[in-house]
Amino acid sequence: MPRPGRLGHVAFVTRLSLRLGVVVLLGVVLLFGTGIFAATQVQQDLLPDISVPAVIVITPYPGASPEIVDQQVSVPVENAMQGVNGANTVQSTSSQGASLVIVLFKDGVDLKSAEQDVSSALGRIRGLLPPQALASTVQTFSTNSLPILEYAISAGEPLGDLAGQLRAQALPKLKGLAGVSSVVITGAPTDEVDVILDPKKLATYAVTVSQVAAALQQASIVQSIGSLKQGSATIPLQIAGSLTSLDQIGKITVTPAAAASKTGKPAAPVRIDQLGTVQVVSVPADTITRTNGKLSIGLRIIKGPNANTVTVANEVRAALPGIESAIGNGIHVEPIQDQATPITQAIGDILREGLAGAVFAVLVIFVFLRSARATLVAAISIPLSLLVALIVLWWQGITLNILTLGGMMVAIGRVVDDSIVVLENISRHVSEGEKPIVAAYTGAREIITAVSSSTLTTVGVFLPIAFLTGIAGSFFRPFALTVVVALLASLVVAVTVVPLLASRLLPAIRAEGVERRLRLSWTQRIYVPTIRWATAHRLITLGAAAAFFAASMALIPLLRVNLLDQSSSPTFPISITMPENSTLLDTDAETQKVEALIAGAPGISAYQATVGGQSDPFAPPGTVPADPTQAAILVLVQNGQYDSALAGVKHALSDYHGPAKLQVGQAQNSSNASSSQMQVDVRAGDSATLQIANDSVLAALAKVPGLAELKSNLVASKPQYLLVPTDKLAASGLNIQTLAALVAQQINGQVAAQANLPQGTMLVRVQLPPGTADTAATLSALPIPTAFGVVPLSTLATIRQVSGPQTVNRVNGDRDATITGTITANDTRAVQTNVSSALAGVSLPSGASLSTGGVFAQLSTVLTQFALALLGAIGLVYLIMVATFRSLLKPLVLLVSIPFAATGAIIALVVTNTSLSLPGLIGILMLTGIVVTNAIVLLDLVEQYRDRGLSLHDAVIEGGRHRLRPILMTAFATMLALVPLAVVGGGGGIGGAFISRPLAIVVIGGLFTSTLLTLILVPVLYSLLSRFASRRSTKDLDEMLDAAEDRRFKPLGMRSTGQFAAAGAGNYAFSLMLEPEAGRLGDRKVLEVMTQNGLTVEPVAGTAKMRIGVPGVQATTPAEASDKARDRVRGLVPASGYTLSEPEPISPDGDHEN
């Protein structure tokens, strides 16, 4: 057995697969079975599970103004978060009644530990927060926390009744489904028990709201009070209070203060129903939801972290008809969001377009090889490689999402390349008369260096993606892993399965067939004269290539740059902003006008209006008060009608004339929600400086073309009321804090307990009658109990009207304002340039600063990350090529293919009027590996011919001629595999937005130009640089290492004579018959080359045949020696025009052995 040399181990694998054919075929069957099983088991999701390195702290502070929330809650929480380990940035937003603090951490932080650290820090400052502030909620955000399904539900009954039916019928059934984590109802009124207290009776009995609430809490307490003995067992004892009816709640007694009794004795207890009324009321939600103009309730389904999105969604859909039937009353369920549909569409895309691409690739093989059997051999690498990738995804617990599906779609055209190159070389050997089994081994062995190096270069291109930081790295690692696994699997298939199947399926060719197939093909007849001319006129060729490169670079200013393609988005929003102090009903009235205008717009399938905007997108529903001045309409687009729907809505809204400010946003979905939003952050140390800087930036941005709908979250101040204590407060026995608590309880009420009524579990709220203190006048007359009796509030404090901000935003302690705008132009990069110029001309006040964010920050980050990834990929490719060619200079020739690939990509994007987006950047990254692959396949054979003694010129010509067919086959197979993607754009929905036309157009255009230029320009540059580059042969070094290995590892008695002696023993000699094809004479130059390389040439009398003698073949076995002799002669003889017989051993005395 031959000793493994450079890549000899891979050749050994090929030989082993030929010997153990049955085992290899069984392995293929096993892989097919396992891959199909993995395809049914792998989890399906829309996106990879991406956790944002942030912890969110939400602290409700009912009734508090933004400034009070900022000073008393947000600032203390911010200060506490500054000391949390790993925290980079602390942001806060203080709005009416709630504080939101976001702690951003370094990439790679353990979010569970970070969440615990944040909770611990909050615990240490809890005593510093106002007692009226409710408990803080600490949470993290990941893609798994997004709802996978969202429905709008309406019926022919009041929303309160519908909500009760949903809670009774829908929630239990849906929560019981496997994989469902939670079910959230939004926009629904809730039932609660209201204890409405009469202010006069409270004053009469000297009872406060808090005393009534305390009595209810004590009546519903559950407390352990000890244990009892029962035999030898100890059984816990507890007291459990429970509120089970309205009558029971009304009979609960409250003990008034002693001051209420004129005799000074303790006052008699008074029942709650003596102080007011107890009733069940329906509390409307703080938002109003309508779907297609009808009032509706939202239903959100959130799956568990390890559940299959498609499976859970199918189970929910299957359960909905039963729920609709149980509720009845004309219930209508309108789907608003469905993550499973894009996944199903993406899977359909890859099956449909991937199959079409595979068919095109297979057709390329058939057209070039003209053999159905050969086509079948090469085509098997496509399903086998993809199934191996599926097995790895399943094994690693990675979901099948738009990124991994995209990797498979991209890999379809590339995984067949290795098999094409190996099969083409085997087919060429068969066409020259070799037996299929021999051609399978020699053909594979001859091409192993090129195939392995080319695959490793492509793998090296995707390797830097694994080191991308932040969300981009988490987003694209599954994509890179899928492509890398598929490529490595294709390499293994190419050196094992393909040679085995070729040896069994390719037919042996008769002599007349050999003569026919050795003739030049029409492509070779065009290429050979072209490359001869190019190598003879190198300067002209290089000048023409440089001119072409310069001309294509001149097109760069015409290239549009965007983050993501939005034309396949399923939705877009309309935001509605009312003037300050507008009520929810005011906002709802204007929203209905907008709904009426857009109802007939073309391309719309449905629309959902939400009145009362959620002031915090991260907060769970109900934890933060909604903003009554905000509304939003989510427009659902018919498939493929995004542009017409957007234009139709904008045209319809031109007829709106009202107080609301309307903004029609761009595409909104999970992958490109902010792909059209510009953001500028302005910071300052105080509010006055921030206001000046904010106004200056807004004025400058208003002049930027392609930028619309500018707004700042530093909105104008709104009126607020302020209680100012009088001198009598101190004498009343109260202080500011207790007065504030008393007033807050009477204005807002207080949730005291839970009641388990027959209708269900409800909150019990204690409050004054509506309208008791909703104006300045009624508030002034509000009775306040003091140590000297009940007095009106106006005695203790005066009410003043002041102005204050609607929200207070901070970043690392500085006041912050965020200015946003919608990019309406098609070229994001051009708008970014104009924005940068406008901001550069802004004169900021001292202490103010600004920075860009939104799509600009995303675009800059993405471009920087991919630029670094591209540089890293080129470095790895160069390293692999240096190892392949054993030269620092020659690989530079191959790198020339990369910029010429970029020229083709740029031309293709400009000609098709396509923006360079994120998929396009991935396409450029792919091109780096693919185009170098072609150059490696070409130069590897040229180097082999030079090693066999051919001149530089002849080696270049012969190498190009023999590698022309496999290079064209792989290039056309890859390009045609992407044609369906370029034509239909990856289908609709989010899958199509990612795996879209830009990727296919970039690869097709770049590969087309780089392939043509590789076949011409690379040989020309190689012929120039080879004068200065050393040869890659390491024969002497290999022989010394082999001898050292023999001495080190083999016992003396086991060494053969040839191995024990340095070079003299163990030599074999062979003779081979060389015959020119019919009708031509042998080339005298061929005979001279063989003689120069130590071979003997003896003409056979009366024929054109020549007997070639090959002396001094060193080998351990005769079989190995025979292979070496044949390879030695074949390396010196042109591949076409001659036939070569099998080697015949020659005895030491020169006679042929029998």
DSSP 603-669: TEEEEEEEEEEES-TTSPTTSS-EEEEEEEEEEEEPTT-HHHHHHHHHHHHTT--SSSEEEE----S
Q: Is 872 exposed, middle or buried (0-12, 13-18, 19+ CB in 10 A)?
A: middle
Domains of the chain: 8-45+342-558+860-1033 (1.20.1640.10), 191-283+719-727+744-792 (3.30.2090.10), 573-665 (3.30.70.1430), 1066-1154 (3.30.70)
pTM of the model: 0.66
- What whole-number distance in Å separates Cα of residue 296 and Cα of residue 189? 11
Q: In whole angstroms, how large is the CA radius of gyration of the chain?
A: 40
Residue 977: CA count within 13 A, CB half-sphere: 29
Tokens linked to 969:
């086959």
Please report, as a single letter, which amino acid is at residue 1111. Answer: P
- What whole-number distance in Å separates Cα of residue 498 and Cα of residue 102? 56
Tokens linked to 278:
């107890």
Beta strand pairing status for 276-283 and 849-853? Answer: unpaired
Whole-Å CA distances, 174 to 310, 317, 323: 15, 10, 9
Please, are residues 742 and 779 in contact by the beta-carbon 8 Å criterion? Answer: no
Q: Is 1006 exposed, middle or buried (0-12, 13-18, 19+ CB in 10 A)?
A: buried
DSSP-derived secondary structure letter, 706? T
Beta strand pairing status for 760-767 and 750-757? Answer: antiparallel
Tokens linked to 979:
């044609």
Residues of the chain whose pLDDT is less than 50? 1-8, 259-261, 509-519, 615-622, 667-675, 855, 986-993, 1045-1065, 1079, 1148-1154
Please, are residues 410 and 926 in contact by the beta-carbon 8 Å criterion? Answer: yes
pLDDT for residue 316: 92
pLDDT for residue 1154: 42
Residue showing tokens 């692959």? 933
pLDDT for residue 37: 92
Please, are residues 60 and 622 in contact by the beta-carbon 8 Å criterion? Answer: no
pLDDT tens-digit map of 1104-1145: 678 888 887 887 777 778 888 888 888 777 766 677 787 888
Give 1024-1081 as a 3 state SS string: HHCCCCCCCCCHHHHHHHHHHHHHHHCCHHHCCHHHHCCCCCCEEEEEEEEEECCCCC
- What whole-number distance in Å separates Cα of residue 611 and Cα of residue 627? 9
pLDDT for residue 515: 41
Collapse the DSSP code of 683 into the 3-class scheme (helix H, G, I; strand E, B; otherwise coil) and give the result.
Answer: strand
